[in-house]
Amino acid sequence: MKFLDLAKVYIRSGSGGNGSVSFRREKYIEYGGPDGGDGGRGGDVVAEAVDGLNTLIDFRYQQHFFAKNGQGGAGQQRTGKSGDTIILRVPVGTEILDEDEETVIADLSKLGDRVVLAQGGNGGWGNLKFKTATNQAPSKANSGQPGVERTIWLRLKLIADAGLLGLPNAGKSTFLAATSNARPKIADYPFTTLHPNLGVVGVDNAEFVIADIPGLIAGAHEGKGLGTRFLGHVERCSVLLHLVDGTSETVAEDYRAIIDELEAYGGHLADKPRVTALNKVDALEPEALAEAKAALEEAAQGRVFLMSGVSGEGTTQVLRAVRAEVTEDRIRQRKPDSDAEDDAPWRP
């Protein structure tokens, strides 16, 4: 299934039905009086965060959502039927923006969050509502209110506990595949991930979600490469894991390039807790490893972990460091293995 995190949608709520002008006509009843019913209410357009979705691909094939109009009133005080509500089912973490792509209408960050995007028009009054002591036979009724028509944008921001950052070919996909159940594309030639990937990792009987964000390059904030389009997916993360390619000849410059892009993007991304790791250490000689680590520590002004996504060296220590920065409300306790339960002695 293709990953889609931005979609343009056209919505329109239903118009209210018109009120009815009617009079009671029955045999032997001389003064029947007005009995026109009210019009039905137009249908609303609602967005709801549901489970089981992780992309906006459904909105690639359907961009128009129009609710039905309310039916008109009728005689014998019959009210028209209201229009049905249209529900836009979106993944958890979806932001709803106005047509300018800047004004946030709603942020559906929790399962079950719901917002009315376009309210249906009220139905018009029938002539029964206009009856007064001095106007016993009104021949007046209201028209229904028109619906609301608007254009909105849906932008998905993945709900992840930790974000994985680094230049292209820093080994992010390899690390995610080695430590989680995710299976991103990995090959023995240089390329960059084009779509974010999510993986659930476990360490010390705790589980959390890591998002692999496509690699940034210098000048991404100016639109170079994939730009900063996918950085919105790490805005909700508690911590950022910054991987640096240890085989690069410019380790410090590679680290600084990512930090500069985070600062240029804004949104307090540069202020989030970060764990820095030097990757691909299995491919370095001891002298080159020590030199690269010293250069990275000087650039990061903090601790640098050594790891290899291929051999698994140091990955547990990196995961523990990330786990320490993830807020407790995000951590999920790992379920006990079923094999351990089977090994227990039988009891009546």
Residue found under tokens 């001891």: 286
Q: State yes or no: 166 annotated in a binding site.
A: yes
> CA 266, CA 221: separation in Å to the nearest integer?
10
Q: Which of 63, 81, 55 is nearest to 12 (CA)?
A: 63
CB 51 within 8 A of CB 24: no
Q: 57 a known binding residue?
A: no
CA distances, 319 to each of 86, 135, 193, 207, 324 (Å): 43, 79, 22, 10, 9
167 labelled binding-site residue: yes
Residue 282 assigned to a binding site: yes
| 196 assigned to a ligand binding site | no
214 is in an annotated binding site: yes
33 is in an annotated binding site: no
Residue 272 marked in a binding site? no
C-alpha dihedral sign at 182, 93, 333, 270: positive
Q: For residue 12, with 0-12 CB atoms within 10 Å meaning exposed, 13-18 middle and 19 or more buried, which class applies?
A: buried
Token duo for residue 258: 């990512």
- DSSP letter at 169? T
Is 192 annotated to bind a ligand? Reply is: yes
CB atoms within 10 A of CB 270: 16
> Is 173 labeled as ligand-binding?
yes
Which amino acid belongs to residue 316? T
Residue 195 annotated as binding? yes
* Residue 110 known to bind ligand: no
**Is residue 172 a known part of a binding site?**
yes
Burial of 77 (0-12, 13-18, 19+ CB in 10 A): middle
> What is the gyration radius of the CA atoms in the chain, in angstroms?
30
DSSP 17: P
Whether 8 has a binding-site annotation, put simply, is no
Q: Residue 279, annotated ligand binder?
A: yes
Is 212 labelled as part of a ligand binding site? yes
According to the annotation, is 112 in a ligand binding site?
Answer: no
Question: Known binder of ligand: residue 35?
Answer: no
| Three-class SS state of 268 | coil
Residue 38, annotated as binding a ligand: no
Question: Which tokens hold the place of 45?
Answer: 């357009």
Tell me whether residue 68 is annotated as binding. no
Q: Which residues are annotated as a binding site for GTP?
A: 166-173, 191-195, 212-215, 279-282, 308-310
- Binding-site members are 166-173, 191-195, 212-215, 279-282, 308-310
Q: Which residues are annotated as a binding site for Mg(2+)?
A: 173, 193
